[in-house]
Amino acid sequence: MPTRTPEGPDLWQDDWYRPAIALASPHCDPRPADAQTDLIVVHSISLPPGHYGGDEVAALFLGTLDCASHPYFERLRGLRVSAHFFVRRSGTVVQFVGCNQRAWHAGESHYRGRSRCNDDSIGIELEGLEGEAFEPAQYAALTQLCQALAQRYSIAFIAGHEHIAPGRKADPGAAFDWLLLQQGLDLPSLHFPAR
C-alpha cells in the first residue's frame, strides 16, 4: 500500500514530491519560458515488456540501462528518455525529474491545440503493459499524486500517451480505468479524453 500522503506544503520540496523516492535523471532540460504546466500525461511501461518489479525502468530513465543484458534492450540503446514520475505495481512512487523541468516522455505529440507536449506537461509512467489491468495501489498513488500536482500547478487536462500521440503510441491502453481516476479526483469529464 502507498504511504499516506502528507498534507499542505509538506507535500513538496521545491518541485520534488516528498512522498516519492527521488532519483534525478540527466534526461531533462528547462521548460520554455512561456510554458503553462497544465497537462498530466499517463503512460505505461515495463522492461522487458510484461516484467515487473525490476530496476530496468529506473535504469532507462537514469541512462544506466545495460542494453546487453536482454535482447529487447538493444532497441533502446542510445535512447534518452525520462518521465517525471514512475508508479510501481505496489503503489511506490519514484520521481526522476523536478516538475519545473521538462522531462522527455511525450515525443512528437499534440493535444488541446498545442504541439510539443513535453513543454508543458508532467509525465507519469505506470508500471504495466498495454492491455493488462493496473493494480488498485497504483490507482490510489496516481490519484494522490494528481491531487498534489493540481494543488501546485494549473492542471486542466489529464490524458494518456495514446491521446497525445495517436497512431504512434497506445499506452496506457484499453485496460486503464479512466472513470476510476476521474471519480477519485472528483473532476468533470471535460478534464479527460473523450471515451
Residue 23: CATH number of its domain: 3.40.80.10
Instruction: Note the pLDDT tens digit of each residue in 18-68.
Output: 999 999 999 999 999 999 999 999 999 999 999 999 999 999 999 999 999
Residue 15 has pLDDT above 70, yes or no: yes
Q: Is 7 a catalytic residue?
A: no
Three-state secondary-structure class, residue 166: strand
The residue segments making up the domain with residue 107 are: 8-185
Q: What pTM was computed for the model? A: 0.94
d(CA 83, CA 175): 21
149 — phi, psi (to 5°)?
Answer: -65, -40
pLDDT at 2: 31
What is the model's pLDDT at position 79?
96
Asked if pLDDT for residue 78 goes beyond 80, the answer is yes
Q: Please count the structural domains in the chain.
A: 1
CB 131 within 8 Å of CB 49: no
> Active-site residue among 56, 74, 108, 125?
125
Torsion of CA 130, 17, 191, 102, to 10 degrees: -80
Is pLDDT at 188 greater than 80 in this prediction? Answer: yes
Note whether residue 155 is domain-resident. Answer: yes
2 domain residue, yes or no: no
